[in-house]
Amino acid sequence: MPKEKKPKAKKQFELKSPRGVHDIMGEEYFSYQGFFEKAEEIALYYGFQPIETPILEQEELFTRSVGEFSDIAQKEMYTLRTRGGDKLALRPEGTAPIIRAYAEHGMHTRPQPVLLYYRGPFFRHDKPQRGRFREFRQFGVEAIGSDKSIVDALIIRLFLAILEEVGITNLTVDVNSLGDKECRTEYKKALVAYFRKHTGKLNTEGKALLKNNPLRLLDSKDPVICELKDEAPETMEFLQGPSKQHFKEVLEYLDSMDVNYRINGNLVRGLDYYSRTVFEIVETQEDAENENDSDEKEGEKKKEKKEEQPRALELGGGGRYDLLGKMLGTRRPLPAVGGALGVDRILMHEKVKKLDPRIIKKPKVFFIQLGFDAKLKSLPLIDNLRHAKIPIQQSLSKDKLSVQLASVEKLGVPWVIILGEKEVIDGTVMVRDMHDRSQKTVKQEELVTYLKKHIARA
């Protein structure tokens, strides 16, 4: 008799967020808000204006721009088909949507370059690990409509300013230039010729990259490819005429601003739309900094330490993408440059300062109410205080004096307002100065004036 197939046990539903995404609340929420406020303040200072594009875009916007064979297009994009049959994607990055918005709203008629900044969540279906999430937040800037090298330098400076202001100061900028279309074509040819000589050593993934997207070989973490990379041709050898001059100028600007940068000839970045300048911002690793002045033994020790130590996370990156407009179908070429900071990674950094957003006001007054009649009068009184911009704390759901006073002690609030049954009848409140525990009865209609006069010295 054939064995009866056991029905598969239904997986129990768990009240849990999906892997790689998480809730943000409490102090963490305020840190994000504080960070974005700081970043926006600096971006506005440099002349950038805000834009918010939708989280859903047409899938093709990204397959056309990040490159068909990029990791994003191949495996990291969250895509969906609507009932009407449209193919949409949760945005994996912000640059292509900005160019879409630029074209859609005819921004070429505005004074150029158009300087825009944006903030918000992005989605990539990658393996979650330290500093890598499936939903993550970026703060990005894009300067569209200028090919001037000073704009590339400005964006790097702006990002460093934001990072420094939030407390991360030991930073290195990795820079490279991929050159223009012609330089890139020549470079690709040389790279393919080099790796072809070593095809025997490449695994299947490496061979596929060599065939479809050879530049991505330089991003590979595969140890064999990493070793081969050291001897591979570098983009810089292929820079010609205007591209060479452009990169030289970018470096001169960085020098003039004392930016701690290093030229990394293997830096290509994972998105296909880059040309000329590319950059990444990482925390300076002490070992790399001191490598030159260490003797051999020390060098060995440092090498071991370096291997133990996790690779510095890239806090932000970007570059020039003069060819993206055309890739997306704009009629005219659209020189542009931009970058994005990885906000989750930045806020995980141990050196980040406590970033209180502006809406958080430290209250100097605690409001205590006793009895139902006092509760009834509390809300209108608190409303008056809010209109007068006097921040307070309260625990309206609590009844006992001792419980409410315990909160006062815990928070260290210097002033307390007490509204009891007697005060309700008299139309007054009791104001207690917590420094010397002195108390004063104040008429309800004079409370705002009294507090304004007295809390200023608290």
Query: Which single residue brings its beta carbon nearest to ligand HAM?
Result: 342
Q: Kindly tell me the burial class for residue 361, based on how many C-beta atoms sit within 10 Å of its own C-beta (0-12, 13-18, 19 or more).
A: exposed
Closest CB 258 distance from ligand HAM, rounded Å: 23
**Containing H/E element for 303?**
helix 296-308
Nearer to ligand HAM, 34 or 94 (CB): 94
Burial 22-32 (b: 16+ CB within 10 A, else e): eeeeeeeebbb
Nearer to ligand HAM, 261 or 321 (CB): 321
Closest CB 371 distance from ligand HAM, rounded Å: 52
**Cα–chain center distance at 385:** 36
Neighbour tally for 324: CB within 10 Å:
27
Nearer to ligand HAM, 287 or 344 (CB): 344
Neighbour tally for 148: CB within 10 Å:
14
Nearer to ligand HAM, 52 or 237 (CB): 52
Nearer to ligand HAM, 137 or 432 (CB): 137
Do residues 159 and 152 make contact, with C-beta atoms less than 8 angstroms apart? no
Closest CB 155 distance from ligand HAM, rounded Å: 8
Question: Which structure tokens are listed for 225?
Answer: 């490819």
Nearer to ligand HAM, 126 or 249 (CB): 126
Coil, strand, or helix at residue 136?
strand
Measured CA to CA, the distance from residue 225 to residue 217 in angstroms comes to: 7
Measured CA to CA, the distance from residue 445 to residue 427 in angstroms comes to: 8
Read off the amino acid at residue 155: I
Interacting residues with ligand HAM (CB under 6 A): 93-95, 124, 126, 131-133, 136, 138, 140, 142, 314-319, 321, 338-340, 342, 344-345
Do residues 147 and 335 make contact, with C-beta atoms less than 8 angstroms apart? yes
Closest CB 274 distance from ligand HAM, rounded Å: 7
Closest CB 299 distance from ligand HAM, rounded Å: 30
75: Cβ–Cβ under 8 A, 6 or more apart, which residues?
Answer: 125, 126
Nearer to ligand HAM, 342 or 420 (CB): 342
**Containing H/E element for 297?**
helix 296-308
Nearer to ligand HAM, 195 or 321 (CB): 321
Q: What is the largest CA-CA distance in the chain?
A: 94
Closest CB 455 distance from ligand HAM, rounded Å: 43
Question: Which structure tokens are listed for 421?
Answer: 């049954």
Closest CB 236 distance from ligand HAM, rounded Å: 20
Closest CB 136 distance from ligand HAM, rounded Å: 3
Do residues 64 and 87 make contact, with C-beta atoms less than 8 angstroms apart? no
